[in-house]
Amino acid sequence: MKRLLLVGVAVIVLAGAGLAAMYTVGIRDDAAPPAYSKVASDPPEARIERGRYLARLGNCAACHTVAGGQPYAGGTAIPTAFGTLYGPNISSDPEHGIGSWTEDDFWQALHNGKAPDGTLLYPAFPFTEYTRMPRDDVDALFAFLRTVPASDQASRPHDLAYPYDQRVLLAFWRALYFKAETWVADATQSLPWNRGRYLVEGPGHCAACHTARNSLGASVAGAPLGGAMIDGLGWYAPPLTGDTATGLGQWSRADIAALLTSGVSARGAASGPMVEVVTGSTQYLTAEDADAIAQYLKSLPASARPSTGARPSQATMDIGAQRYRQYCVQCHQANGEGSGTAWPPLAGNLSVTAPSPINAIRMVLDGGYAASTAANPRPHGMPPYGQVLNDNDIAALTTYIRNSWGNEASAVTSLEVKRARGQ
């Protein structure tokens, strides 16, 4: 009995020591913040403009500005599987914003994921990607934010379910899934390729939507940019890898750059949450940066392609073909090739052939417009058919476009349509 008791005590002690070690790893900082390296060559005005550009690349306003509200005053709801977080006020207000922060405080937030007082930040704020940004860029971004007019709007508290509202648990999450990084260029690759990789993996934080996450909200290792459902939004972010059916394998660099800067391309148009990304962020890319991103993405190998699932019945395809002729053929053509960039092709469209049919379902249900950009200020739109077609019709129609003109994807069920209506 004494031996068993001693073993039990030893197990408890070891478990406690292990947890203590994990906690220590989770709260530790990276090395001391490096000094800003550009002095004479980077005057204040240039630094602020550089920061403005980086704020757009990071689409900071999306999470820190409520529609119709004061810029960067916070309050935007960010739905997740763990509850709703709210983007904080990052205006220059010293009490409610970040006006009292120093450059080192801001570096601490982006690089180490901590507030100035050491409070651990939730990874809905993508410090997991921002950690790769060099001090030069972080300081430039901070210089711009200090020019944002102050707002006295208090940051709204997060509304998270227990136990996710216990910030102390973030230390253990960080021990498992986060390590502060310093971005290093690949000497075997070109300058544009390295620039594109940096923009994708750093300020652009593309992985936040396009990489699958595990049950604890961490990016799944081994599947970078391989496509994922966007948590809380009911849309699927397609793979950005080289697969010819579900990724960018058939896209040219020009196609990718065009979508990023205008919202439309010969291969497809931005839809769902990507419309906001193009409108608020990527349309402002320089031509060189848009091409750099395209060059990097085109170098990614194809990710593992999931099974296409159940094949559609001929009866379903027949019903879908009838509905297509009634409602879709005028714009998207009988061959599914569309009409220029106004009405995108459905043949080979990666949103149509995605492992998840949700994007196609939502477009048929709700319609929508491509992004309104300087390069495409009056985008064409698609009318909603959710009030015209029932769940069975929409299931048949989306099944048809996912399995015609060379497309091969899973059949769509009326239950999937019903669920999409309720989101």
Query: Tens digit of pLDDT for each residue in 315-337?
Result: 999 999 999 999 999 999 999 99
Query: 170 or 28: whose pLDDT is higher?
Result: 170
pLDDT band, very low/low/confident/very high, at 6 (cuts 50, 70, 90): very low
pLDDT band, very low/low/confident/very high, at 347 (cuts 50, 70, 90): very high
Query: 223 or 313: whose pLDDT is higher?
Result: 313
Q: Which of 122, 306, 123, 129 is nearest to 207 (CA)?
A: 129
For the domain made up of 314-422, the CATH class stated in words is mainly alpha
pLDDT band, very low/low/confident/very high, at 8 (cuts 50, 70, 90): very low
Which three-class secondary structure state does DSSP give residue 80?
strand
**Mean pLDDT of the chain, nearest integer:** 90
DSSP tag of 24 = H
Determine the pLDDT at residue 422.
84
Does residue 402 carry a pLDDT above 50?
yes
Query: Tens digit of pLDDT for each residue in 207-253?
Result: 999 999 999 999 988 789 999 999 778 899 999 999 888 899 999 99
What is the distance between the alpha carbons of residues 278 and 367, in angstroms, rounded to a whole number? Answer: 18
Q: What is the pTM of this model?
A: 0.91
Does residue 5 carry a pLDDT above 60?
no
Query: Tens digit of pLDDT for each residue in 159-170?
Result: 999 999 999 999
**Token pair listed for 417:** 């349509």
Determine the pLDDT at residue 302.
85
DSSP tag of 82 = T
Paired strand residues for 368: 382
In percent, how much of the chain has pLDDT > 70? 90
pLDDT band, very low/low/confident/very high, at 42 (cuts 50, 70, 90): confident
Determine the pLDDT at residue 29.
73
- Please give the biggest Cα pair distance in the chain: 83
Determine the pLDDT at residue 231.
79
Q: What is the CATH number of domain 191-298?
A: 1.10.760
Are the C-beta atoms of residues 397 and 320 closer than 8 Å to each other? Answer: yes
Q: Exposed, middle or buried by CB within 10 Å (0-12, 13-18, 19+), for 177?
A: middle
Domain with CATH 1.10.760.10 in the chain: 314-422
Are the C-beta atoms of residues 342 and 397 closer than 8 Å to each other? Answer: no
Query: Tens digit of pLDDT for each residue in 358-398?
Result: 999 999 999 989 899 999 999 988 999 999 999 999 999 99
Query: Tens digit of pLDDT for each residue in 55-81?
Result: 999 999 999 999 999 999 999 999 999
Region 17-33: mean pLDDT is 66
What is the distance between the alpha carbons of residues 63 and 389, in angstroms, rounded to a whole number? Answer: 35
Paired strand residues for 255: none
Does residue 50 carry a pLDDT above 90?
yes
Paired strand residues for 269: 264
User: Dihedral angle at the C-alpha atoms of 412, 419, 87, 148, nearest 10 degrees?
Assistant: 60
Name the strand (E) or helix (H) holding 85.
Answer: strand 83-86
Q: Strands, DSSP E only, in 105-202?
A: 159-160
**Token pair listed for 351:** 């949103």
Query: Lowest-confidence range among 1-15, 75-89, 399-413?
Result: 1-15
Does residue 305 carry a pLDDT above 80?
no
* CA distances, 400 to each of 88, 314, 327, 421 (Å): 44, 10, 13, 19
Residues shown for the chain: 423
**Token pair listed for 132:** 């790769």
Query: Lowest-confidence range among 11-15, 259-263, 369-373?
Result: 11-15
pLDDT band, very low/low/confident/very high, at 85 (cuts 50, 70, 90): very high
Determine the pLDDT at residue 303.
73
What is the distance between the alpha carbons of residues 288 and 250, in angstroms, rounded to a whole number? Answer: 21
What is the distance between the alpha carbons of residues 367 and 229, in angstroms, rounded to a whole number? Answer: 19
Site of tokens 């006020």: 89
Determine the pLDDT at residue 96.
97
**Count of other CB atoms within 10 angstroms of residue 39:** 8
Instruction: Give the count of alpha carbons within 13 A of 34, CB side only.
Output: 12
State which amino acid sits at residue 163: P
